[in-house]
């Protein structure tokens, strides 16, 4: 059994930053995530997409943000159980918890923090009869590495920001890009819509509006799609392609966490945001996009703030007989469990005799 001070369910940005805040309080953390690598959505779904609202970074790639967080928490030596989903939560007589994963790995700690983003995600798939036969054989539901599509023919379906942004990005990567949307109006940012239409005029994107991909064809791998128009003509276009990428969004699911007796509201966990982001189960906290309260903003920086506040109260649960006085890192520095120490150089004041 793995024993630690804080069990963190979810190794996305908020979960990772929790390790740093806990480390400043000399608390050890162990993270559980169903994905095979840390980083959550930033690593799994859009590692190459830029993020613009991280303080002090006018622009940073999602994957780079994760790399930086991993470097920041390295001195605090967190443990990881990856590729395993947290299945059960069992409260012990002393008030501590045992979290057991889908593979039977048990974790024991006095505090549990749910930082699982929006939970587990499943792509929203179009209703195409043989779609599953070509998954990972030309049909993809997310783009991790744009270079995979270098000099390839790509068909993207969708009308939101993701479909627009990737169509624009891949226009300079793929040999051909086709964007298919069932309406003439897009739901994305206006500048992205204008950019996509401009690229269509230049012949860099083939735009199909009021149309849908209704059939896909191929032998072992995908070879073509059939696009049918929704207008009066009901015309069809047979488009040869190497990849078909339907970007209709992801459907979040809490999964087994939803059966732990937590108070749930609209697929999110209700917390006490007036104090510590604790759930209705004492000792169990929820931070980041997975929680909800009045005025909640689902932003990475909000998750970072919640992590800092939550750790102060987690310390009191773990060390009820101790009083912690917060010190700014500019004053106290950062002392890792690995013996490393970061601190500002102290000025030497010489007296004049």
What does pTM read for this prediction? 0.70
Gyration radius of the chain's alpha carbons: 24
Q: Is 277 annotated as a binding residue?
A: no
- What pLDDT does residue 120 have? 60
Q: Which domains does the chain have, with CATH numbers?
A: 2-121+251-342 (3.50.50.60), 125-248 (3.50.50.60)
Higher-confidence residue: 111 or 336?
Answer: 111
For residues 101-128, give the mean pLDDT. 87
Alpha-carbon torsion (305, 47, 82, 75), positive or negative = negative
Residue-wise pLDDT tens digits, 47-58: 778 889 999 999
Q: Is 53 annotated as a binding residue?
A: no
For residues 331-353, give the mean pLDDT. 76
CA neighbours within 13 Å on the CB side: how many for 190? Answer: 0
| CB-count exposure of residue 127 (10 Å: 0-12, 13-18, 19+) | exposed
- What pLDDT does residue 325 have? 73
- What pLDDT does residue 231 have? 74
Q: Is 37 annotated as a binding residue?
A: no
Q: Is 36 annotated as a binding residue?
A: no
**Is 70 exceeded by the pLDDT of residue 345?**
yes
Residue-wise pLDDT tens digits, 132-184: 999 999 999 888 789 999 999 999 999 988 899 899 999 999 999 999 999 99
Q: Is 46 annotated as a binding residue?
A: yes
Alpha carbon 251 to chain centroid distance? Answer: 13
Residue-wise pLDDT tens digits, 174-231: 999 999 999 999 988 888 899 999 999 999 999 999 999 999 999 999 999 999 998 7
- Beta strands at 176-181 and 206-209: parallel, antiparallel or unpaired: parallel
Q: Is 121 annotated as a binding residue?
A: yes
Least confident residue range of 89-98, 107-116, 227-236: 227-236
241 vs 218: CA distance, rounded Å: 10
């Amino acid at each position: 059994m793995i024993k630690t001070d804080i069990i963190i369910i979810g190794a996305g940005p908020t979960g990772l930053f929790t390790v740093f805040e806990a480390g400043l309080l000399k608390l050890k953390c162990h993270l559980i995530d169903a994905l095979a690598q840390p980083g959550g959505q930033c690593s799994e779904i859009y590692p190459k997409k830029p993020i613009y609202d991280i303080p002090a970074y006018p622009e940073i790639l999602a994957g780079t943000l994760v790399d930086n967080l991993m470097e920041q928490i390295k001195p605090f030596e967190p443990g990881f159980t990856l590729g395993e989903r947290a299945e059960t939560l069992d409260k012990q007589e002393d008030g501590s918890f045992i979290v057991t994963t889908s593979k039977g790995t048990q974790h024991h700690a006095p505090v549990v923090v749910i930082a699982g983003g929006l939970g587990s995600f499943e792509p929203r798939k179009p209703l195409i009869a043989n779609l599953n036969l070509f998954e990972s054989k030309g049909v993809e539901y997310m783009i991790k590495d744009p270079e995979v599509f270098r000099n390839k023919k790509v068909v993207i379906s969708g009308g939101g920001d993701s479909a627009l942004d990737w169509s624009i990005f891949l226009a300079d990567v793929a040999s051909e890009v086709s964007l298919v949307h069932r309406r003439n109006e897009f739901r994305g940012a206006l500048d992205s819509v204008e950019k996509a239409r401009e690229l269509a005029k230049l012949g860099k994107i083939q735009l199909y509006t009021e149309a849908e991909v209704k059939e896909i064809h191929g032998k072992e791998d995908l070879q073509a799609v059939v696009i049918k128009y929704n207008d009066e003509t009901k015309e069809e276009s047979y488009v040869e392609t190497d990849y078909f990428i339907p970007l209709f969004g992801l459907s979040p699911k809490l999964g087994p966490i939803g059966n732990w007796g937590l108070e749930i509201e609209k697929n999110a966990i209700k917390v006490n945001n007036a104090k510590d982001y604790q759930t209705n189960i004492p000792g169990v906290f929820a931070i980041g996009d997975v929680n909800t309260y009045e005025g909640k903003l689902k932003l990475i920086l909000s998750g970072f703030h919640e992590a800092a506040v939550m750790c102060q109260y987690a310390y009191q649960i773990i060390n009820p007989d101790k009083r912690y006085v917060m010190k700014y890192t500019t004053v106290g520095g950062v002392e890792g469990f690995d013996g490393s120490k970061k601190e500002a150089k102290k000025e030497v004041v010489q007296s004049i005799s």
